[in-house]
Amino acid sequence: MIDTNISEPVFQFLGGIFHQDIETPESALDEYLEEIPKEEQETDIAALKDFINSDYSDEEKNDFIDEAADGVDILSYGISPLEWLEQVIQKIEKNIGTL
């Protein structure tokens, strides 16, 4: 089980944006990028990177991402949940100009 201190902000991000009621993951991310202040996006990036760089196994991280982002069929993208999350981070970084 992944520690709550590292998982809570990640779960809130994934579950809050990529839930079952979204049209598409892309439209949900676009909405996030347009509506959330860049300072908050920077905070989210830091939490997501802390999660990715944590000592948990890739399997634990993949399972957590898959469960938290329940509105996304990540496997349909042909990549792992971790790879998908890294792409999400890159899009956010590009949006705020840190990439």
Is pLDDT of 9 > 70? yes
**Domain ranges, residue 64:** 4-96
Burial class (CB in 10 A: 0-12, 13-18, 19+), 20: exposed
pLDDT band at 17 (very low <50, low <70, confident <90, very high): very high
Q: How confident is the model at residue 99, as a pLDDT? A: 60
Q: Phi first, then psi: what are they for 56, rounded to 5°?
A: -70, 155
The residue type of 90 is Q
- Contacts for 16 with CB less than 8 Å, ≥ 6 apart: none
Is pLDDT of 88 > 80? yes
How many domains would you assign to the chain? 1
Q: What is the mean pLDDT of residues 64-90?
A: 94
pLDDT digits (tens, 9 = 90+) for 20-75: 889 999 999 999 999 999 999 999 999 999 999 999 999 999 999 999 999 899 98
